[in-house]
Amino acid sequence: MPQSAEKVLDHAPLFREPEYQEMFARKKQMFECGVSDAKIAEQADITKTWDYREKNLARESLVVNPAKACQPLGAVFAAAGFEKTMSFVHGSQGCVAYYRSHLSRHFKEPCSAVSSSMTEDAAVFGGLNNMVDGLANTYSLYAPKMIAVSTTCMAEVIGDDLHSFIQTAKDKKSVPQEYDVPFAHTPAFVGSHVDGYDVMVKGVLDNFWKGVEPKPNTSINIIPGFDGFCVGNNRELKRLLDVMGVEYTILSDASDQFDTPSDGEFRMYDGGTKIDDVKAAVHAKATVSLQRWNTRKTLDYAETFGHETASFHYPMGVRATDEMLMKISALSGKPIPESIRLERGRLIDAMADSQAHLHGKKYAIYGDPDFVIAMARFVMETGGEPVHCLATNGTKAWEEELRPILDASPFGKDAKIWAGKDLWHLRSLLFTEPVDLLIGSSYGKYLERDTGTPLIRLTFPIFDRHHHHRFPLWGYQGGLRVLTTILDKVFDKLDADTIVPGKTDYSFDLTR
């Protein structure tokens, strides 16, 4: 009997005990009717071939292990970045349970959102009553300052009209007439979570900006985009802007909402962009997006108010940070202070110290379109080669944007861009054109298992490592964090490869 009170074994060691191993063998042999081990090994080998890769890449309809989620997830995330705002997702209720779980599993934080709980009768008659009742209940129970409405695909397929439904709900006194209920249609069968983010932010702005005559001031609006590292990143961003003395408004800032303290009180709402600040933001001089593929509609909208606009692709790495700071400096007229130049110098110093361990390393990078661009650039700045750049929610246009960036560097000229491909495609790519390191999300751990490529978790969602999102990736400080994370993986791998006593440990160097 393997189990004991002295040393309690949980699943990992317990099932390796002989009693269980023998039981598994019996089950397999007597009851499972599976194929032979030889056949499994043969098929496993087939999946590693170029031939399989070609068939895999020729897939037209099936999607396997995609690295993207659906629009309403982005909408719920965007809404969480505004002061005391409750997300209300109109449609089936199971979806909302999924968004909340997904965000909680990443942030290790509460995630509050409600559903209008539409069922079969609503599928036939429309979900108006659900909206009317739902808004009344949400308003009474959770006392939000604003309710941000988005939709599941059910409500979209049956064609519910949010604008008129919300007005009817107000007419029926579910919420006061003047109460803020911004909305966005977020069909799951269009785009991905980054587009849901876009339309929800736009919906919130439209709620407050519509019909307002802008009186331009000197302030700058900054839209961070969907970001699993918003906690660390937004705080670092604000620090940099404060050091520069820039007047700014971050539009959708979920850094406090997804990082509330444990002190005995559950804060359903915390932080976020103040409603008054959203209102005032219409008068800003400029609106800057830190993730262009997350904000295309919102930026177009801001332009209609005469805002100068600029966009970046996730300000991570040296040049990306340089560009962002210089643009902000130009827009605000505030110089970049010496202290930030010194921070930059410290990042460069660290990169120079470690360059020998990173030069020539080959990478596969996947994630949202802006993240992949930024990561590929930073990798190239360290002398690394981004061999595979993949975004399931990347488009042809994204590919065309990334291509010249890669071509401009000797480290990127052989890189391949995989727009619209999934992680089962990437598995084939890693077998046929292997790399040293894989950068992505927790889902990449299956690729690490199958192909032996070490995984570095640097983008949403990260379920199986804790607290990384509390530290920034943006700015020069963030660059240090990214650099160290990559280096740790390189050194851990090097140690693991040289740890066998008397065999490989001649290279088990104390100093590296």
User: Which residues does the annotation mark as catalytic?
Assistant: 153, 157
Question: 92-111: which residues touch other proteins (CB under 8 A)?
Answer: 92-95, 97-102, 104-105, 108-111
Comparing CB distances to other proteins, the nearer of 3 and 217 is 3
Q: Which of 277, 216, 285 is nearest to 250 (CA)?
A: 277
Cα 511 to Cα 159, 356, 491, 495, 508: the distances in Å are 64, 14, 11, 11, 9
Q: Binders of other proteins: how many residues, by CB under 8 A?
A: 110
Question: 316-375: which residues touch other proteins (CB under 8 A)?
Answer: none
- Could you tell me how far CA 467 lies from the centroid of its own chain? 15
Per-residue three-class SS string for 394-449: CCHHHHHHHHHHHHCCCCCCCCEEEECCCHHHHHHHHHHCCCCEEEECHHHHHHHH
113 binds other proteins (CB under 8 A): yes
Give the per-residue contact string, 433-452, with other proteins (x = CB under 8 A; - = no).
----------x--x---x--
Helix (H, G, I), strand (E, B) or coil at 37: helix
Question: 212-241: which residues touch other proteins (CB under 8 A)?
Answer: none
Query: CB of 51: closest distance to other proteins in angstroms?
Result: 12
Member of 76, 78, 79, 134 binding other proteins (CB under 8 A) = 134
39 binds other proteins (CB under 8 A): yes
Helix (H, G, I), strand (E, B) or coil at 85: strand
Cα 90 to Cα 123, 131, 159, 169: the distances in Å are 12, 7, 11, 13
117 binds other proteins (CB under 8 A): yes
Amino acid occupying residue 2: P
157 binds other proteins (CB under 8 A): yes
Comparing CB distances to other proteins, the nearer of 157 and 280 is 157
- Asked if residue 419 lies in contact with residue 394, where contact means CB atoms within 8 angstroms, the answer is yes
176 binds other proteins (CB under 8 A): no
Comparing CB distances to other proteins, the nearer of 306 and 420 is 420
Query: Applying CB under 8 A, which part among 20-28, 160-168, 215-223, 371-379 lies near other proteins?
Result: 20-28
Question: 400-429: which residues touch other proteins (CB under 8 A)?
Answer: 424, 427
154 binds other proteins (CB under 8 A): yes
Comparing CB distances to other proteins, the nearer of 11 and 215 is 11
All residues at 6 or more sequence positions from 194 whose CB lies less than 8 Å from its CB, including other chains: 74, 225, 226, 291, 293, 294, 368, 369, 370, 393
Query: Applying CB under 8 A, which part among 28-36, 77-85, 202-210, 368-376 lies near other proteins?
Result: 28-36
Comparing CB distances to other proteins, the nearer of 119 and 507 is 119
Q: Which tokens go with 353?
A: 């110290």
Question: 60-79: which residues touch other proteins (CB under 8 A)?
Answer: 60-66, 68-70, 72-73
Beta 416-419 vs 385-391: how paired, if at all?
A: parallel
257 binds other proteins (CB under 8 A): no
52 binds other proteins (CB under 8 A): yes
187 binds other proteins (CB under 8 A): yes
* C-alpha–C-alpha distance, residues 203 and 387, integer Å: 38
- Could you tell me how far CA 261 lies from the centroid of its own chain? 22
Query: Applying CB under 8 A, which part among 149-157, 313-321, 375-383, 408-416 lies near other proteins?
Result: 149-157
